Amino acid sequence: MDLNTLWFILIAVLYIGYFVLEGFDLGVGILLPFLGKNDTQRRVLINTIGPHWDGNEVWLLTAGGATFAAFPQWYATLFSGFYLPLFLILLALIVRGVAFEFRSKHDDPRWRSLWDWCIFAGSLIPALLWGVAFTNLVKGVPIDQNMTYVGGFWNLLNPYALLGGLISLLGFTLHGAIFLSLKTTGEVCESAQQTARRLWVPTTAALVVFVITTYLATDIIARLGINPGPVPIGAPLAVLAAGYFINNRRSGWAFFLTALAILFATMTVFMMMFPRVMISDLNPEWSLTIYNAASGQYTLRVMSIVALIFVPIVLLYQGWSYWVFRKRIGQKQEELHY
């Protein structure tokens, strides 16, 4: 394995970590106005992700930084062509972070309601647009011989990409509902379990449709050589199996399976692209690859040494933080500590 391939795999791992971890806290933000019937319940929901949401976003920052350093041409073409959706994602995440900090600064219900809806919007927009962006990556976008994106914003809002956005939105919301059933007690936990049961059917149905559409709209069969391949069908199978545990109130296994579905889905995206990083639908020869979009070998070598030292430290720290804040949060606890 050369360093170009290694860094392609490492970037894929970073996005897998981001979507698995950030996926459930985006789902919690989307469900906040609907499961939180009063201010105390909404505080319960926010406090389930309070110790983790900013740490989860570090995975995205690291993935972006790794892309910039390892594959600068990929970074340049991606951020110029996908400028508006990526800007909207960044803006939404900023508003969401501000809302977490500001909602408790004033007791006025209207003030708190405003920031609660900001958390909702700041969670929904990334959950939708990440699916749109990554679906476009596997479908292909207009890139010319100079590695320049020559399409417009509306090229990105094609039916297949919008279906991908719907999948990510439903999947993250289901992931968040199951997480809440693991982290809360009482009425909030019951509401989260009921929501997970309701979301499971449309999520599974939409995912099956999306997988079938993927085989028709992309070159997945030619790339993987297997129809159906084991990884692409892993996501719908994992979500399908999660339904059994959701209905039997075994939230731990259900959460593991939705995390596994996100892992399989993200793996499929990167497998379909490899060794390409951005696919040109104008001419396959104009696609960006891990070789023509990469930095020099010296840069990749230095990055590998740094990653070998610091990535295990970050993983240990984040694992420790999840262990420290592993207990469930109840409504009575919030009333006592408020």
169-195 pLDDT, tens per residue? 999 999 999 999 999 988 999 999 999
Q: What is the pLDDT of residue 123?
A: 96
Q: pLDDT digit string (tens) for 17-39?
A: 999 999 999 999 999 999 988 98
Please check the confidence at residue 79 and state whether its pLDDT lies above 80: yes
pLDDT at 155 (0 to 100): 85
Mean pLDDT, residues 276-296 taken together: 92
Q: Return the pLDDT at 337.
A: 47
What confidence score (pLDDT) does residue 241 get? Answer: 93
Delimit the domains of the chain by residue range.
3-202+269-337
229 pLDDT above the threshold of 70: no
d(CA 199, CA 196): 5
130, 133, 139, 145 alpha-carbon torsion, rounded to 10°: -150
**pLDDT, average across residues 108-136:** 94
Give yes or no for residue 118 having a pLDDT over 60: yes
pLDDT exceeds 60 at position 144: yes
Confidence label for 211 from pLDDT (cuts 50, 70 and 90)? confident
Q: Which residue has the higher pLDDT, 69 or 220?
A: 69
Query: What integer pLDDT is reported at residue 336 of this predicted model?
Result: 42
Instruction: Output the pLDDT for position 317.
Output: 87
pLDDT tens track for 234-284: 888 999 999 999 999 899 999 999 999 999 999 988 988 888 999 998 898
Give burial (CB, 10 Å; 0-12/13-18/19+) of 316: exposed
Q: What is the pLDDT of residue 227?
A: 52
Kindly report the number of other CB atoms within 10 A of residue 261's CB atom.
27
Q: Over 60: is that where the pLDDT of 338 sits?
A: no
1-5, 71-75, 102-106: which is most confident: 71-75
pLDDT mean across residues, the chain: 89
Cα 24 to Cα 21, 162, 187, 204, distances in angstroms: 6, 21, 20, 17
pLDDT at 9 over 80: yes
DSSP for residue 280: B
Residue 52 DSSP label: T
Q: What is the mean pLDDT of residues 108-130?
A: 94
| Residue type at 84 in one-letter notation | L
Least confident interval from 104-108, 207-211, 265-269 = 104-108
Specify the DSSP element, H or E, that contains 92.
helix 83-102
Q: What is the pLDDT of residue 104?
A: 85
**pTM for this model (two decimals):** 0.91
* Average pLDDT of the segment spanning 303-320: 89
125-164 b/e (C-beta count within 10 Å ≥ 16 → b): bbbbbbbbbbbbbbbbbebeeebebeeeeeebebebbebb
